[in-house]
Amino acid sequence: MPRLTDRDLLCIEMIAQQGVVRLDTLKLHLMSNGIRIDDRSLRHISSRWVEMGLVQKERLLANCPSIIWPTSNAIRLANLPRIKNEKFGRPSFSNLLHDLAVSRVRVEYQVHKAKWTCERILKNSFQSEYLADGLATLNNSKILVEIDRTAKEPQRLLNIMKSHALHPEISAVDYWTTNEHFSFIEGHAALVNKELGNQTVRTFLLPKEVNL
């Protein structure tokens, strides 16, 4: 196998951790780590990863850059825990937009120098009734991150928000959602914050490229 650079490893690790990443998100991921790369070079090196058997890459969505997902080789290279009966074919369209949004939101925290823990690792390292999409750690603060692109049943949403907000290790709970569902999520966050007497649950609009 050709030698992998630190830049390669930084990208492959993110792809393996997140499961699926847009090519433009990968560029932002590199920028958040102080590495600049032009679009042509990124397309070239991502094609090299495909040739090396580390990722697969296709244009799965109209008017969207290429989408990249890991092979089992990438999971091993990133030293991640394996999931029983895990498959590495084309991503399921039922989860694709959500998973792409998670990858993009991750970068929003990295820009502020937060360390990101992906869902795959949280399953094995963080005890909670409900599994969040990610955990951002900044200094001594731990922020559970949820991406909600569809409206959950109201009581279930409240239960998840309260469970996250009451976790003894958590400083804040961030919900990222679409324009369509923002008022719904914001209203339920306000109810939880009022009940708990704080502002632990926060709401944000998804970045425009994944606000679909």
CATH code: domain of residue 18: 1.10.10.10
Using the 3D structure, point to which of 64, 91, 118 is the last residue of a domain. Answer: 91
Cα separation, 18 vs 105, whole angstroms: 11
31 and 63 inside one domain? yes
Cα separation, 201 vs 186, whole angstroms: 9
As for how many domains the chain has, the answer is 2
197 and 114 inside one domain? yes
81 and 168 inside one domain? no
CB 4 within 8 A of CB 12: yes
74 and 18 inside one domain? yes
58 and 121 inside one domain? no
188 and 119 inside one domain? yes
Using the 3D structure, point to which of 33, 65, 91 is the last residue of a domain. Answer: 91
* Residue 131 confidence (pLDDT): 94
CATH code: domain of residue 142: 3.40.1350
113 and 206 inside one domain? yes
Q: Which domain holds residue 204?
A: 108-210
Cα separation, 71 vs 187, whole angstroms: 40
Cβ-based burial of 141 (10 A; exposed 0-12, middle 13-18, buried ≥19): exposed
pLDDT in tens, the chain (212 residues): 568 999 999 999 999 999 999 999 999 999 999 999 999 999 999 999 999 999 999 999 988 899 999 999 999 999 998 888 888 888 888 899 999 999 999 999 999 999 999 999 999 888 888 999 999 999 999 999 999 998 889 999 999 999 999 999 999 999 999 999 999 999 999 999 999 999 999 999 999 999 98
CB 143 within 8 A of CB 170: yes
118 and 184 inside one domain? yes
Question: And the tokens for 135?
Answer: 């955990």
125 and 82 inside one domain? no
117 and 206 inside one domain? yes
Query: Does residue 123 form part of some domain?
Result: yes
Using the 3D structure, point to which of 91, 123, 154 is the last residue of a domain. Answer: 91
Query: Does residue 98 form part of some domain?
Result: no
* Residue 1 confidence (pLDDT): 57
